[in-house]
Amino acid sequence: MSDPSAPNAQIARLRLRIEDANHRYYVLDDPDIPDAEYDRLLRELQALEAAHPELVTADSPTQRVGTRPAGGFAEVRHALPMLSIESVTVDEEKRPGEARKRIERFVLDARQALGRDDLEFSVEPKFDGLAISLRYEHGLLAQGATRGDGSVGEDVTANLRTVRAIPLRLRGNAPAVFEVRGEIIMLRADFDAFNRHALAQGQPALANPRNGAAGALRQLDPRITARRRLTFMAYGIGIADPREGLPATQSGMLAWLRELGFPVAREVSTAHGFTGLIDYYQRIGTVRDHLPYGIDGVVYKLDRYADQETLGYVARAPRWAIAHKFPAEEQMTVLEAIDVQIGRTGAATPVARLAPVQVAGVTVTNATLHNADQIGRLDVRVGDTVIVRRAGDVIPEVVRVVAERRPPHAQPWHMPAHCPVCGAQLLREAGASAWRCSGGLSCAAQRREAILHFAARRAMDIDGLGERYIEDLIAFDYVHTPADLYRLTLDDLLAMKRRADARDGTTPETVKQGKVATLWAENLIAAIAASTRPTLARLLFALGIMHIGEETARTLADALGSLERVRRAPVLVLECLPDIGHAVANSIATFFAQPGNAAAVDTLLAAGVAASDEHAPRRALLGDLHWAALIERAGIRNIGKGGAQTLAEACPDARALRAIHGAATGLNSRAQAALDAWLHTPDFDALVAADTYARSVLAEAEGTSTSAGPLAGKTVVLTGTLARMSREQAKATLVQLGAKVAGSVSKTTSLVIAGTEAGSKLDKARALGVEVWDETQWLRWLARHV
């Protein structure tokens, strides 16, 4: 039996793995390892072959650039080989400074070979795409081919003709036979758009832009290629016959290619010496994540072609060029555990705990898994070997599983039933991928952020209650819910401060000042007391309900008028209010239905907090709240808007639905069958509750109708900053005058009132021809009508 540790066995195993990776990437378009892992395997093979040159064979991956073309395309033999460039990729954590030393050696070798110190280099981004060669004959595109193994590629002319960035006819004079070398890539925006569309259609998403470009170019149907919106970046030339009169430098050639109509990266430049090269590498690295396309490094080339010819080639790579790669953005590691983190609103997010790995220059131990559905799609299991991606400041994420490395007993992962912090049940939002803790404001994981949000300036505006004080109040067990803030005494705050000082080893205020420092505590007690009478909109916003921002809080407050009505409002009723869809309505109703939240709100009210501006419901702001609209939103199969109107006319209220049958409803047989089945579901009870609530609210609102106001029937939008009144005051005034105040501009908008720094809403109003008033016009109108 052969020794698996013997050099020949190791080399055979590495060759097989690399060739398999080539096949999966270039032929199957299904890569199973990241580029960094591929590079590591190739470097390991190169080192073994260097140590044992007698084992080098002609078919080794080290002796060619890529892989042979797959079947389905004609072969193209390149007139000039498409060579690879030596890459410098070093683990800076294990070998700090090694990459810079290799670049410095590259420059020194060039200086010695040329006998000059002042060398100029063409410096260019290294695209993360698919290398191709374009052959032009008499100025017309004649053939396009992939690099393949460097000597033989595939004829993909028909597919390349769909790439709009590639000129079919050159815009200037060029040699009769002329080859342009460059990279086929997918722009980030096109990659994101393709994946959004694919996921919406239930199709698999692309792994990365490079894989998307490679897979698109190898489609036998050019129409499929066209759908991926590929682009092209030129970086050099191949054969040129005749060559006389062409630029004598690489930088000059790139400028000339741009004149001919080829896209050339804006980031190309020239640099002098080692310092210039490193400065360029660092400069491009800082903007890398903001470029419209992905790059994985930069390329340095001696600028003068005469110098390139002098240096020549070594093996299959030029001595006059080198690629300086950035730290890998994808790496392979082992997923050791999956934990669940609970956010401020109770959102339960699974987080991967990883064996430490260097990704893009940063040690990564945690990565997001987004949600339980994503885990299911990836089929991630504890113990799996996974690919982790990190780009710039983006949170690292697990992007795929290396299935062949899965341990034999790895089990599918499921969201736990209970919150890991408070033990309350974890619930899945209806129709969404998110899970959340039902503990609400009573969950310790949410407590800090919930109270911080509650006290914020735009919420309850408790001046002086900052992050540090909130953390200490929670840590020393003074505050568990927002209501506990209103029970704090001066002694509590001073005791909390003493304990915090003792914990932190800081000098107490009493020692530093020689007296009891109570001013800060007195001010904080006063600020808490002053917050007990907020507007209803502020109070609703302060509760931290998911999806409820300031605008939605104002909509609820203005339309329903009291906290109690908002708390009791059923989902079907909330959906009828302006600018509130099903997801928002469900979030509001679910929040108040959770026992922990309900108890926290009750305790808050018992502590003396009450809205200062409660009023009767306002009919003009209740949107589409009527009986037919509730039926339509009840979700009865085969009953749309028309059917809902028919039922509303036949049945005076929800309870009458059960008493009416057959032709008396006016529905067709399919709709009637669906109604009969639906009447025995919990959804019918929900409609009864919504109908009862709606009739009560509408009855209370009858006396507050503003139909006689001068703006009755008008929809008004406020945008920008008003100097003479707050947004809340302006909105309240408009409502009193009969207007409906909307949050967005549409064809139904009657008027837009624009303050300073008005943005997209003003632009849209002008585009739609909606009447626009500035603040001066608005105030003049008010003076005449109020």
Q: What is the mean pLDDT of residues 299-303?
A: 96
pLDDT at 406 over 80: yes
Amino acid in the structure at residue 691: D
Query: Quick one: fold of 7-63?
Result: Helix Hairpins (1.10.287)
Q: What is the mean pLDDT of residues 279-295?
A: 90
pLDDT digits (tens, 9 = 90+) for 470-485: 989 998 999 988 999 9
Give yes or no for a contact between 630 and 576, defined as CB atoms under 8 angstroms apart.
yes
What pLDDT is attached to residue 582? 83
The percentage of residues in the chain with a pLDDT greater than 90, rounded to a whole number, is 29
pLDDT at 203 over 80: no
Please, which pLDDT band fits residue 299 given cuts at 50, 70 and 90?
very high
What pLDDT is attached to residue 706? 46
Give yes or no for a contact between 541 and 728, defined as CB atoms under 8 angstroms apart.
no
Domain ranges of the chain: 7-63, 90-325, 440-530, 536-704, 715-785
Do the annotations mark residue 512 as ligand-binding? no
What pLDDT is attached to residue 122? 96
Fold match between domain 7-63 and domain 440-530 = no
What pLDDT is attached to residue 107? 93
Q: Scan for tokens 């006389």, then name that residue.
A: 244
What pLDDT is attached to residue 571? 92
CATH class of 715-785: alpha beta
pLDDT at 713 over 90: no
Name the most confidently modeled range: 45-49, 53-57, 299-303, 703-707. Answer: 299-303
pLDDT at 70 over 50: no
For 410-422, what is the HEC assignment? CCCCCCCCECCCC
Domain with residues 440-530, CATH architecture: Orthogonal Bundle (1.10)
Q: Look at residue 592 and give its three-state secondary structure.
A: helix
End-to-end CA distance of the chain: 100
Do the annotations mark residue 437 as ligand-binding? no
Q: Scan for tokens 């084992």, then name that residue.
A: 55
Do the annotations mark residue 288 as ligand-binding? no
In angstroms, the CA 320 to CA 300 distance is: 8
Length of the chain equals: 786
CA distances from 306 to 175, 250, 320, 439 (A): 20, 10, 11, 73
What pLDDT is attached to residue 516? 46
Do the annotations mark residue 422 as ligand-binding? yes
Lowest mean pLDDT among 211-220, 340-349, 575-584: 211-220
How many Cα atoms sit within 13 Å of 493 on the Cβ side?
A: 24
What pLDDT is attached to residue 558? 87
Do the annotations mark residue 154 as ligand-binding? no
- What is the reported pTM? 0.52
Do the annotations mark residue 85 as ligand-binding? yes
CATH class of 90-325: alpha beta
Q: Which residues are catalytic?
A: 126
What pLDDT is attached to residue 18? 81
Superfamily of 536-704 according to CATH: 5' to 3' exonuclease, C-terminal subdomain (1.10.150.20)
What pLDDT is attached to residue 515? 42
pLDDT digits (tens, 9 = 90+) for 744-781: 888 888 999 998 888 888 888 888 889 999 888 888 88
Ramachandran angles phi, psi of 510, nearest 5°: -65, -35
What pLDDT is attached to residue 731? 78
What pLDDT is attached to residue 248? 94
Could you give the maximum distance between any two Cα atoms of the chain, in Å? 102
Higher pLDDT, 297 or 515: 297
Do the annotations mark residue 35 as ligand-binding? yes
Do the annotations mark residue 764 as ligand-binding? no
Do the annotations mark residue 607 as ligand-binding? no
pLDDT at 540 over 90: yes
Do the annotations mark residue 419 as ligand-binding? yes
Average pLDDT, the chain: 84
Q: Scan for tokens 């809403």, then name that residue.
A: 761
Question: Which structure tokens are listed for 440?
Answer: 């609400």
CA distances from 173 to 178, 219, 255 (A): 11, 32, 14
pLDDT at 610 over 90: yes
Q: Scan for tokens 């490094």, then name that residue.
A: 297
Q: What angle, rounded to 10 degrees, do the helices at 467-475 and 490-504 form?
A: 90
DSSP 441-495: GG-HHHHHHHHHHHHSTTTT--TT--HHHHHHHHHTTS-SSGGGGGG--HHHHHH
What pLDDT is attached to residue 590? 80
The verdict on whether omega for the bond into residue 242 sits within 30 degrees of 0, i.e. cis, is yes
Q: Scan for tokens 């080399």, then name that residue.
A: 11
Please, which pLDDT band fits residue 742 given cuts at 50, 70 and 90?
confident
Q: Which residue from 226, 238, 247, 246 is spatially nearest to 165, judged by alpha carbons?
A: 226
pLDDT digits (tens, 9 = 90+) for 647-690: 888 888 877 877 776 556 778 888 888 888 888 888 888 888 98
What pLDDT is attached to residue 11? 87
For residue 317, the Cα-to-chain-centroid distance in whole angstroms is: 39
Do the annotations mark residue 731 as ligand-binding? no
Give yes or no for a contact between 509 and 443, defined as CB atoms under 8 angstroms apart.
no
Our CA angle for 173, 175, 178, nearest 5°, is 115
